[in-house]
Chain A
Amino acid sequence: MMRFLLLFSRQGKLRLQKWFTPMTEREKKKITRDMTTMVLSRQPRSCNFLHWKDLKIIYKRYASLYFCLAIDNQENELIALEVIQRYVELLDKYFGNVCELDIIFNFEKAYFILDEFLIGGEIQETSKQMVNRSIEASDMLQETMEEYMSKPAF
């Protein structure tokens, strides 16, 4: 299973954190620090895999954002790269040419999309269209409610 997914900028600012196992705030902060240090210090043309404790760390840079995914030792690293790629494509489809700012200002939506793609560290839906349809339908539900209440969402 996947253990955690972190998105951070080149300056090490956290943009999204999804933890699939329970951890204290302190542990989360420490791990985040370790990850950012490790990944940001990698040479530009190195391979995307790292070993950290008993986990494999798969990281990839997309524009100004680093995607850092930790998986169990027996998982397939190459398909993990595809998981990251798929998530980026989902974001891209939703936001239209997604960039870091989209994720900063709409972080809750990034989470919602992630939650339609992964649950409990495993993939729940392998079809891009299905995920997008679910998100759109949920958004519609939100809009409808708010329109009805004629109050701004948030």
Chain B
Amino acid sequence: MPAPIRLRELIRTIRTARTQAEEREMIQKECAAIRSSFREEDNTYRCRNVAKLLYMHMLGYPAHFGQLECLKLIASQKFTDKRIGYLGAMLLLDERQDVHLLMTNCIKNDLNHSTQYVQGLALCTLGCMGSSEMCRDLAGEVEKLLKTSNSYLRKKAALCAVHVIRKVPELMEMFLPATKNLLSEKNHGVLHTSVVLLTEMCERSPDMLSHFRKNEKLVPQLVRILKNLIMSGYSPEHDVSGISDPFLQVRILRLLRILGKSDDDSSEAMNDILAQVATNTETSKNVGNAILYETVLTIMDIKSESGLRVLAINILGRFLLNNDKNIRYVALTSLLKTVQTDHNAVQRHRSTIVDCLKDLDVSIKRRAMELSFALVNGNNIRGMMKELLYFLDSCDPEFKADCASGVFLAAEKYAPSKRWHIDTIMRVLTTAGSYVRDDSVPNLIQLITNSVEMHAYTVQRLYKALLDDISQQPLVQVASWCIGEYGDLLVSGQCEEEEPIQVTEDEVLDVLEGLLVSNLSTPVTRGYSLTAIMKLSTRFSGVNRIKKVVSIYGSSIDVELQQRAVEYNALFKKYDHMRPALLERMPIMEKTATNGPTEIVQTNGETEPSVVEPKHLPPVTQPANQANDLLDLLGGNDVVPVIQTTMPTKPASAGGELLDLLGDLSLSGGPATAPASSVPTSQPSFLLDGLSSQPLFNDIAAAAIPPMTAYNKNGLKIDFTFERANPNPNVAVITIHASNSTEADMTEFVFQAAVPKTFQLQLLSPSSNVVPALNQGTVTQVIRVLNPQKLRMRIKLTYTLKGSPVQDLAEVNNFPAQSWQ
């Protein structure tokens, strides 16, 4: 059989192939030839064939059939064979292969070979890809070679030891004795690899770390070596652009960092050398800056004195002005890490950082943006926001979402005024509206609700924005919600903050209807606008148009819209008396959680204030849980929504149907009931027992719990009497008796109660909302509390006395012990 073609021949031939198919054909032909050559166990050409195989492997073709051949080459006596064999092993025989372990014996023999270059091959292969088993088997050999005086082998053994430790950390101990005088070597290769080995040991084991700190006094040794490197003259062997062995310098600085971290003595010992390196290193080339960078990282990590830290930050500041993009990038990354600890020092470089927002490089822009947000505080918010908004306008789409979220967060934390806050939000919505995260919408709505004095201004601006552009969904959603809520302010033409616009009810409805039909609107947006239109039925005078719209969408193919429309229709037809109360203005919403958006989104049910509904209520989309002012008194987190029932003016049919309409209710909710006006007791669709209140009470238990006075002020006295409900003993039933000792009637009397979250509370309808004067009668109302432990309660009372409204809040703590036992 003719001699197999030479490697270079093959490469040349394959490169002439003009198509992928042609190349594949050549390769397959050659592979076949190689395979038969392997089968013939040809020693002479095995090396050549494996080399060719490795080339084809690099091109992406399978080469697994050469694995065993690599082993044979390694076992050969010829150096050429070994060289290619070990190369093949490193490329084809990683530890996942079955035959990997077969190398162990060969490597062991070669580690003891007479020729150092053969030993070197073995060390290199073991150090690059030895498996854990192999490492365990051969660790002893490596340790032996670590103590040799041959620096060529010593440096390789050191890195081999690093690999062994990485694979089998338990073996770290055995290398400790050999490290004793590693650092007294003159050879830079050995020095460098020794530092790497020591670094690996110190990083992995705190015991090793303290051993090296105290017993071996590593820090002074390293400081000495580093000093020599800096002070010594030109050394041609290790010079890079005028700096002596920068690789070694960087590694030493890194080890110093580990040794100095959280250790005062070590940090003290290295202060001088760090200052020296920081001030004396040439900064004209990348090399010098690499060393400075490492120095800065070390200074920031150890317990350095403040002067040194300022020096480090100033170096980073200078980096920011460097022409080299890489240096600027590295500076921004490092400043981001240090901004938490050295905030003031970094602030000094704020203007440079903000300039980096305009850089052309994408990586730099991203870092600059992150850093800018970290630097925003109460003092610089106005200036910073201007820059960041400008950035938001002009940046790539990949940044917009993050930038918008960052702007919202910063605005929330540091807004100097509500007007500024609203303006900023408007700006974000109009320029990057489609990139804003979904959870920003509920957040913004809450913010707007809470800025009561800005409602007119906000709705006006949002309306104007809608006229311009309806493509950005978050903007459209927030705008339609606001118009629904504050549409009356919009058409009334009152606005303090800016020139009020003249807009008619019809124009507003035109815009909202436009959203419903537009192709740009998503289903969610359509939902928002339909609800907004519905809300305007109580705020605008012309209801017929709204009725028409709502009835049209009752047959919409979008199920969500259809459901809403049908329910709103029902509201017009059968429950018109409830409509004003249901569509009332939303009260101020308290944030339940301190960290923002996601929390709000979870509570996907919200209700109109007067209807109980902590859970999911399909027709209404406002976010956040229901809140009354009471909630902020008890501290938002631990209060259950208030249940308050209204006093309808007309009798209506039983509450059962209302239940179905609004979806299923949870235990703590009770529905708005529809009692007959004169009947003192109501007919609640009570989920707990499904029975009406009066017959439930079991007077036997009642006698055991004494009554108490919960409130007595300004002539209004409220007493609580207790009963235990039957058959559920976990429910305490409290009846309030409100009496009025003043001369005039207290009209529009409303009693509200809130309890901590561990309880569930239900308030039934009051007997009346007029407390007659001079104790001529009482208003009674029933509260049912589930699971009463040590009960406490906040109550809110509103009533009108002699024409003026009165409101009061009180805490009730004096519940008798028996009420919860």
Interface residues of A (CB under 8 A from B): 14-17, 19-20, 22-24, 29, 43, 45-51, 76-79, 81-83, 86, 104-105, 107-108, 111-112, 115, 119-120, 122-130, 134, 137-138, 141-142, 145-146, 149, 151-154
Contacts and interface: CB of A to CB of B under 8 A. Distances in A.
A55 B698 CA distance: 71
Contacts of A17: 58
A78 B289 contact: yes
B189 A125 contact: yes
Given A138-B83, A142-B79, 4 more contacts: A45-B325, A76-B294, A79-B294, A151-B44
A82 to B, nearest CB: 6
Contact of A142 (B11, B83, B238): B83
A23 B94 contact: yes
A115 B79 contact: no
Interface stretch (B34-42, B121-129, B174-182): B121-129
27 contacts: A14-B59, A15-B58, A20-B128, A22-B95, A22-B131, A46-B325, A47-B325, A47-B328, A51-B363, A76-B297, A78-B326, A78-B327, A79-B246, A82-B246, A83-B247, A105-B12, A107-B54, A119-B163, A123-B247, A124-B155, A124-B189, A126-B188, A126-B189, A130-B237, A138-B117, A145-B78, A154-B84
Interface string B662-692: 0000000000000000000000000000000
Contacts of A47: 325-326, 328-329, 361, 363-364
A147 to B, nearest CB: 11
A45 B360 contact: yes
Given A47-B325, A126-B188, A141-B117, A22 B94 contact: yes
A141 B79 contact: yes
Contact of A22 (B15, B87, B129, B246): B129
A119 B192 contact: no
Interface residues of B, number: 73
A119 B123 contact: yes
B238 A127 contact: yes
Interface string B324-347: 011111100000000000000000
B83 A145 contact: no
A130 B84 CA distance: 22
B196 A127 contact: no
B286 A81 contact: yes
B109 to A, nearest CB: 17
Interface string B480-509: 000000000000000000000000000000
Nearest to B235: A127
A123 B124 contact: no
A107 B53 CA distance: 12
B55 A107 contact: yes
A1 to B, nearest CB: 8
A124 B156 contact: yes
Nearest to B86: A115
Contacts of A77: 326, 330
Contacts of A19: 94
Contacts of A142: 79-80, 83
Contacts of A105: 8, 11-12
List the 8 shortest-distance A-B pairs measured between CB atoms, nearest first. A78-B290, A154-B48, A47-B325, A125-B189, A119-B159, A79-B290, A120-B163, A120-B127
Contacts of B582: none
Contacts of B51: 108, 154
Contact of B58 (A14, A23, A24, A152): A14
Most chain-B Cβ atoms within 10 A of its Cβ — which of A23, A47, A77, A146? A47
Contacts of A14: 58-60
B172 to A, nearest CB: 15
B234 to A, nearest CB: 14
Contacts of A86: 240, 247
A76 B250 contact: yes
B87 A111 contact: yes
B192 A145 contact: no
Most chain-B Cβ atoms within 10 A of its Cβ — which of A51, A111, A146, A149? A111
A50 B361 CA distance: 11
A126 B152 CA distance: 12
Contacts of B94: 19, 22-23
B274 interface: no
Nearest to B52: A154
A127 B189 contact: yes
Given A128-B237, A153-B80, A154-B80, A79 B188 contact: no
B204 to A, nearest CB: 13
Nearest to B188: A126
Contacts of B80: 142, 145-146, 153-154
A112 B254 CA distance: 29
B363 A122 contact: no
Interface string B515-532: 000000000000000000
Contacts of B329: 47, 49
B473 interface: no
Given A126-B188, A130-B237, A134-B152, A29 B60 contact: yes
Nearest to B79: A141
A45 to B, nearest CB: 7
A141 B115 contact: yes
Nearest to B88: A108
B362 interface: yes
Contacts of B237: 127-130
Interface in B268-326: 286-287, 289-290, 293-294, 297, 325-326
Given A82-B286, A112-B83, A154-B84, A125 B294 contact: no
A119 B362 contact: no
A145 B84 CA distance: 14
B293 A126 contact: no
Given A22-B95, A82-B240, A76 B290 contact: yes
Most chain-B Cβ atoms within 10 A of its Cβ — which of A45, A108, A112, A128? A108
A124 B78 contact: no
A122 B188 contact: no
A45 B286 CA distance: 16
B426 interface: no
A48 B360 CA distance: 14
A119 B156 contact: yes
B96 interface: yes
A151 B42 CA distance: 14
B691 to A, nearest CB: 62
A108 B54 contact: yes
B193 interface: yes
B245 interface: yes
B534 interface: no
Nearest to A47: B325
A108 to B, nearest CB: 6
B31 interface: no
Contacts of B163: 119-120
A28 to B, nearest CB: 10
Given A49-B363, A124-B159, A130-B237, A78 B188 contact: no
B125 to A, nearest CB: 9
B293 A46 contact: no
Contacts of B166: 120
A46 B54 CA distance: 34
A120 B128 contact: yes
A109 B35 CA distance: 24
B162 A46 contact: no
B160 interface: yes
A154 B289 CA distance: 44
B325 A107 contact: no
Nearest to B247: A126
Contacts of A112: 83, 87
Interface string B223-255: 000000000000001101000011110100010
A29 B721 CA distance: 78
Contacts of B47: 153-154
B73 to A, nearest CB: 11
B214 interface: no
Contacts of A146: 80
Contacts of B360: 43, 45-46
